[in-house]
Copies of this chain bind each other. A is one copy, B any other.
């Protein structure tokens, strides 16, 4: 074994600094109308995205993101050695069927909305460890498939609660490289913190922000403690989809843990992707929220040097309709990766 790269129980260093070679984002029409609408690489024409079902539309978005990320790096998908991917749908069918069509060796993940940072966390370690020259980390979500599966058919026109979030129709893919393949990288991964599953007893499945905030707070606190760092060391701490309510709770929980929070550095993709006019209540959510915002906004900011070092941490709520019906609470999980600018 190589010398241990562990820093505490949950954090590891990636000493070779695996490179982020390229990225691509796909989003829907509602996301196009939001404040970051002009930054997405591909906007799908409508909810069906040229397919026969919403589920197929979601799968196609994921394929588009992976293909475009490869194309931007001048690679063919056949050169990618692993696809680390998952999504919100039962049996991660978007990722599984996309992997079939793309022909890339596939590790299926399920981390709910934390999948983008789960894939980068694992992908960073696999690239650093010499197990892959080039691999893709990717995920997606779709408003219509998520509503159908987790809530109610759209046709019912159910009213949404004030704490509800709007599942983003979007996808993101990131190419992570190790060794010589990482030359030309536009950003690097330096550390990652694997999250624990945290449950403070939230039972309202329409309040995912409250369910995920404790996991976000736990992972941030563990990461800063393991690294001996504070908010001073980051230009931005980006969370996935806590939404307005969850972000407020995160701040409160971090303060309770004695962490000096610099609120202006907290950037929640779920709070940012839509604006108040768009009537999404507590904000955006879904695997595709953090993934598309990472690829459309955050990585370009790091690549250009406007942000020098960020902590990227998508958050997931680990419930199912079955556990909710059985009266279980909603635990959350959050994985973090440190992404740094490369001086060119």
Given contacts A130-B129, A331-B100, contact A108 B106 (CB under 8 A): no
Asked whether, in the complex, the Cβ of A103 is within 8 Å of the Cβ of B55, the reply is no
- CB-CB contacts below 8 Å: A78-128 with B: 81-82, 86, 89-93, 96-97, 99-100, 103-112, 118, 121-122, 125-128
Chain A residues packing against B (C-beta within 8 Å): 1-6, 9-10, 12, 16, 18, 52-53, 55-56, 81-82, 86, 89-93, 96-97, 99-100, 103-112, 118, 121-122, 125-133, 149, 178-179, 182, 194-199, 318-323, 326, 328, 331, 333, 335
Q: Chain B residues near A128: list those with CB within 8 A.
A: 1-2, 129
Contact partner of A4 among B56, B179, B199, B328, CB < 8 A? B179
Asked whether, in the complex, the Cβ of A108 is within 8 Å of the Cβ of B105, the reply is no
Q: Chain B residues near A52: list those with CB within 8 A.
A: 326
Q: Which residue of B lies closest to A199 (CB)?
A: B100
Asked whether, in the complex, the Cβ of B111 is within 8 Å of the Cβ of A322, the reply is no
Asked whether, in the complex, the Cβ of A182 is within 8 Å of the Cβ of B108, the reply is no
Asked whether, in the complex, the Cβ of B129 is within 8 Å of the Cβ of A321, the reply is no
Asked whether, in the complex, the Cβ of B100 is within 8 Å of the Cβ of A107, the reply is no
Q: Which residue of B lies closest to A84 (CB)?
A: B122
Asked whether, in the complex, the Cβ of B131 is within 8 Å of the Cβ of A112, the reply is no
Contact partner of A112 among B91, B105, B331, CB < 8 A? B91
Distance of A107 Cα from B107 Cα, bound (Å): 12
Asked whether, in the complex, the Cβ of B90 is within 8 Å of the Cβ of A322, the reply is yes
Q: Chain B residues near A182: list those with CB within 8 A.
A: 1
Asked whether, in the complex, the Cβ of B108 is within 8 Å of the Cβ of A6, the reply is no
Rounded to whole Å, the gap between the CB of A112 and the closest CB of chain B is 7
Distance of A31 Cα from B272 Cα, bound (Å): 52
Distance of A103 Cα from B5 Cα, bound (Å): 22
Asked whether, in the complex, the Cβ of B4 is within 8 Å of the Cβ of A16, the reply is no
Contact partner of A18 among B1, B96, B110, CB < 8 A? B1
Q: Can you give 22 contacting A-B residue pairs, CB < 8 Å?
A: A2-B128, A2-B129, A3-B130, A4-B179, A52-B326, A86-B108, A89-B322, A91-B110, A92-B318, A99-B196, A99-B197, A99-B333, A100-B197, A100-B199, A103-B196, A105-B194, A107-B111, A108-B110, A110-B110, A125-B125, A125-B131, A129-B129
Given contacts A110-B92, A110-B110, A122-B107, contact A131 B322 (CB under 8 A): no
Distance of A182 Cα from B1 Cα, bound (Å): 10
Q: Chain B residues near A323: list those with CB within 8 A.
A: 55, 91, 93, 97
Distance of A99 Cα from B332 Cα, bound (Å): 11
Distance of A323 Cα from B320 Cα, bound (Å): 18
Given contacts A55-B323, A93-B322, could you give 14 more A-B pairs where the C-beta distance is less than 8 Å? Answer: A1-B129, A2-B130, A3-B130, A4-B179, A10-B105, A86-B110, A96-B197, A97-B318, A99-B197, A100-B199, A105-B196, A106-B194, A122-B122, A122-B126
Distance of A175 Cα from B92 Cα, bound (Å): 26
Asked whether, in the complex, the Cβ of B322 is within 8 Å of the Cβ of A133, the reply is no
Rounded to whole Å, the gap between the CB of A11 and the closest CB of chain B is 10
Distance of A2 Cα from B12 Cα, bound (Å): 15
Q: Chain B residues near A333: list those with CB within 8 A.
A: 96, 99, 106, 108
Asked whether, in the complex, the Cβ of A130 is within 8 Å of the Cβ of B96, the reply is no
